[in-house]
Structure 1
Amino acid sequence: MAEKETLIRHNLIINKLRRSPLTWKELDAYLKQESEIQGLKLDFVQRTFQRHINDILEIYAVSIKSDRSTRRYYIEADEGHVDRSMQAFDILNLLRMGDNSSNVVLFERRRPMGTEHLAGIFHAIRNNLLLKFEYQKYYEAEAEQRKLLPLAIKEAKNRWYVVGQDLDRNAMRVFAVDRMCKLDFGKKQPASRFAKNVELYFKNSFGVLLATEDQEVEEIVLSYSSFQGNYIKSMPLHESQELLVDNEEEVRVRLRLYVTRDLIMEILSVGAQVKVLAPQSLADTVKAEHKKAIEL
Structure 2
Amino acid sequence: MAGYKLLRRLEIIIHILDAYPYTSKEDLKHKLERDYELQLTNRTLERDFKALETDFSIGLQYDASKNGYVLDKQDRKRIQSFFKYVELVHLGELFKESLEDFELLREKVVLEDSAKFKGIQHIKPLLLAIKKRKAIAFVYENYTHKTLNSYKIFPLQIREYANRWYVIGVPRGEDHIRTFGLDRMQQLQSKEEVHHHLESYETQLQKFHSVVGLNYNAAEKVERVLLAVTLRQFKYLNSLPLHHSQFLAHKREDGRMELSYHVIPNYELKMQLLKMGPEIEILQPSWLRKEIKTSLQDNLKQYKHEK
TM-score (norm 1): 0.71
Q: Of 89, 101, 104, which aligns to 2:103?
A: 101
Looking at structure 1, the residues matched to 272 and 200 of structure 2 have their Cα atoms a distance apart, in angstroms, of: 28
The equivalent residue for 2:213 is: 207
Deviation at 1:157, TM superposition (A): 0.9
Residue 87 in structure 1 maps to residue 100 in structure 2: no
Equivalent position amino acid for 2:177 in 1: M
Q: Taking structure 1 as reference, are residues 18 and 110 closer, same or farther at Cα in structure 2, changes over 3 Å only?
A: closer
Equivalent position amino acid for 1:282 in 2: L
TM-score (norm 2): 0.68
Percent identity over the alignment? 22
Looking at structure 2, the residues matched to 249 and 63 of structure 1 have their Cα atoms a distance apart, in angstroms, of: 39
Q: Taking structure 1 as reference, are residues 280 and 187 closer, same or farther at Cα in structure 2, changes over 3 Å only?
A: same
Specify every segment of 5 or more residues in structure 2 that has no aligned partner in the other structure, as ranges: 14-50, 59-74, 303-307
Equivalent position amino acid for 1:217 in 2: V
Specify every segment of 5 or more residues in structure 1 that has no aligned partner in the other structure, as ranges: 1-6, 21-52, 65-76
Looking at structure 2, the residues matched to 88 and 104 of structure 1 have their Cα atoms a distance apart, in angstroms, of: 18
The equivalent residue for 1:232 is: 237
Q: Taking structure 1 as reference, are residues 143 and 284 closer, same or farther at Cα in structure 2, changes over 3 Å only?
A: farther
The equivalent residue for 2:132 is: 127
Deviation at 1:164, TM superposition (A): 1.8
Looking at structure 2, the residues matched to 165 and 214 of structure 1 have their Cα atoms a distance apart, in angstroms, of: 18
- Map of 1:154-173 to 2, 5 A cutoff? 154-173=159-178
The equivalent residue for 2:294 is: 288
SS in 2 for 1:216: coil
1:190-234 per-position Cα deviation (integer Å, ceiling 9, x unaligned) = 331346557522121111113x22211111011112111110111
Higher helix residue share? 2
- Please say if residues 282 and 288 of structure 2, whose CA atoms lie closer than 8 Å, have aligned partners that are also in contact: yes
The equivalent residue for 1:26 is: none
Looking at structure 2, the residues matched to 166 and 239 of structure 1 have their Cα atoms a distance apart, in angstroms, of: 29
Q: Of 254, 258, 262, which aligns to 1:256?
A: 262
Q: Taking structure 1 as reference, are residues 143 and 276 closer, same or farther at Cα in structure 2, changes over 3 Å only?
A: same
Q: Tell me which moved more, 155-164 or 194-203.
A: 194-203
Looking at structure 1, the residues matched to 132 and 5 of structure 2 have their Cα atoms a distance apart, in angstroms, of: 25
Looking at structure 2, the residues matched to 10 and 166 of structure 1 have their Cα atoms a distance apart, in angstroms, of: 36
Q: Taking structure 1 as reference, are residues 197 and 19 closer, same or farther at Cα in structure 2, changes over 3 Å only?
A: farther
The equivalent residue for 1:38 is: none
Equivalent position amino acid for 1:101 in 2: E
1:132-161 per-position Cα deviation (integer Å, ceiling 9, x unaligned) = 112223322322222211111101111111
Number of residues of Structure 1 aligned to a counterpart in Structure 2: 238
Note the aligned Cα RMSD (angstroms): 2.8
Residue 117 in structure 1 maps to residue 119 in structure 2: no
Q: Of 187, 207, 216, which aligns to 1:182?
A: 187
